[in-house]
Structure 1
């Protein structure tokens, strides 16, 4: 939540207003957020006696009974708004549907909406909250890995517009985020893989210790859903330590720059060319695969520039490949890179600001990459990744009816 403090100075010909917005929100670990003896969630809605919940349909099918039992136990009326938001439905139409449900419910000004689901759900519902009466509070319960370690930290909410990813949005912090990693036990493997790309992002340019853990344990963490599905206690401990370090690193990097005033953003690694690439195929890429292709090319570029050794380049690409993440795509062409560069220059105020590792765990920004250099790096990259598993293709790269 936030509040604004402002002061006004004046002359006989002008007024000057200067304001500062205070932003505060909590990320709270909860073991079994819908366990009836856990009151963290219920306490937030007890003053209202009811809750409006926007929830992903798949999550509702898995946890609906437990959720209803929880709210009944605590004497709270629950209104459920199920949504199915794939990347193609991250749209103004879905946004308007959710806003209509706010009206039908008769949402009170200070009453927080409960948003349960992955990053797509929290993005669209969060944007609806940002727009409804200009500032409706909400509480987030992320249920995917990408939601738990990435979307939960940011205050950005958005919808796509046409083929432009997140073109319409706002900065709107939730009151609190309840982090319950037990949801990973029922998360499909393709969704876990999707989130692990974000862990690669954070680690390769921000935290080498996380990268070392991914290098050693990555495939086992993927297979066992970070120890929550048939995993050993030791592996569960590794998963807990890794995800905590990832959230802490994200907060260290993001908290001083929540409104992205500074456009040199470490966590924009993998987000230079991927926003154009992601929505290019007939069925869009999973976000994690799209940013991973961008990160893989950026890693090759970093080695070409002398900022990474060949051994470290191949180590990064190897971790990505062993997790089944895409290193390349037929949709990644010199023409697409040129178009994507033109687009991102507008977003980044005329500078490329391409994040690359220098070395693993640290970041450098490149502003002088030419179209010709990019085309040459791409040609080398495509030849290089042919030596990796699946010749650089990802496992389950594209969104489908099951996601």
Structure 2
């Protein structure tokens, strides 16, 4: 389709082109996305008569039979590509495997790929789709909390490279995202905790009401998988869970929908993502993303309190919320040397400015650009003292990636 907004100006000495990319995608709630009576996915693939699905291997083990029955019911041939993707396998090697699967399938340039899994799966496969034939469409069905409320909301896709998180990537929006929170019933508690960290991120710098909800209900949301595990949740907690996740997604989109290509690098949702990209991959076994950003956010809260942006009480509320949910708030890997190295690295990503998002107060955001290595080291000393009495002072619950 040609672009009606494209402009060409020419004279004897130069040609000038202006063009704009249209971004158009939908996030849609579906209760039981692979239930035969729900046609949303079948409608995506019906015209092709076939579907290529890249799927997390664990999800495939749990739901493979149901997925095959769904496509058989709708008369659509299904080809599956199961993948096991840990943080260490979020790599170009994995991307190449996916691209080879596209070629073996004979994927047509405008034929949408189905991607089913958590944020790692959708990130790597999304980047494969961005790269394959310079842009292949795809549809996401996220199956983890972090995928449902964070990774699948944005249009960023990437792989790690050389112990640098998301060093290679692109902006490539999926055609649509189908949000089925019933997948949380089979999600391990460690992965629910992982996603809760991203919810706290949004709440702390952009939605004080959501922060209050997570303080009150966070532990119950964790143990009941947001009301989807067992019968003990009850309708009240399920409504709380729905409203909390809806608020998190809505807040993310309100912050990002005008800046999908990150042309403005002062990004509220980058709270917790200043020092954590280096921290997360520093240990031989990487931290789960949620724990790495929780440590970053807890440290940032101490920095905000030290500078007078937060009261001590609010700093401690933030620290306690992370710790009460089993998320790490400190780490022996968080050292003055790592903070300095991570600062140098993120300055490259953020065009020479730190742009460290901190709460000022809870529910609002302020960006710090003027911090020096000495202040980072002093803040770390104060932070370590502030969190020393918390159960997760230096070790979160199930914090290591597998």
With normalisation by structure 1, the TM-score equals: 0.98
Name 1:340's counterpart in structure 2.
342
Give the Cα separation in 2 of the matches to 1:392 and 1:245.
Answer: 30
> What is the Cα-based RMSD across aligned positions, in Å?
1.2
Name 2:152's counterpart in structure 1.
152
1:339-358 equivalences under 5 Å are 339-358=341-360
Listed one character per residue, the Cα deviations across residues 214-262 of structure 1 (whole Å, up to 9, x for unaligned) are 0000011000000001222111110000000000000001101000000
Name 1:397's counterpart in structure 2.
399
Listed one character per residue, the Cα deviations across residues 41-71 of structure 1 (whole Å, up to 9, x for unaligned) are 1111110000000000000000001000000
1:60-99 equivalences under 5 Å are 60-99=60-99
Q: Which runs of 5+ in 2 are unaligned?
A: none
The 8 Å contact of residues 332 and 394 in structure 2, kept in 1 or not, is answered as no
Name 2:23's counterpart in structure 1.
23
Name 1:140's counterpart in structure 2.
140
The 8 Å contact of residues 4 and 20 in structure 1, kept in 2 or not, is answered as no
Give the Cα separation in 2 of the matches to 1:365 and 1:140.
Answer: 32
* Count of residues in Structure 1 that have an aligned counterpart in Structure 2: 400
Change (3 A) 1:124 1:373: same
In the alignment, does 2:235 pair up with 1:233? yes
**Deviation for aligned residue 1:266:** 0.0
With normalisation by structure 2, the TM-score equals: 0.98
Q: Which runs of 5+ in 1 are unaligned?
A: none
Name 2:370's counterpart in structure 1.
368
In the alignment, does 2:279 pair up with 1:286? no
1:117-196 equivalences under 5 Å are 117-196=117-196
SS at the partner of 1:27? Answer: strand
Change (3 A) 1:20 1:242: same
Give the Cα separation in 2 of the matches to 1:174 and 1:107.
Answer: 16
1:192-203 equivalences under 5 Å are 192-203=192-203
Listed one character per residue, the Cα deviations across residues 150-203 of structure 1 (whole Å, up to 9, x for unaligned) are 011100000111111101100000000000000000000000000000001000
Give the Cα separation in 2 of the matches to 1:3 and 1:191.
Answer: 42
The 8 Å contact of residues 2 and 24 in structure 1, kept in 2 or not, is answered as no
Give the Cα separation in 1 of the matches to 2:98 and 2:355.
Answer: 35
Give the Cα separation in 1 of the matches to 2:300 and 2:59.
Answer: 35
**Deviation for aligned residue 1:383:** 1.3
Change (3 A) 1:355 1:4: farther
Give the Cα separation in 2 of the matches to 1:4 and 1:219.
Answer: 51
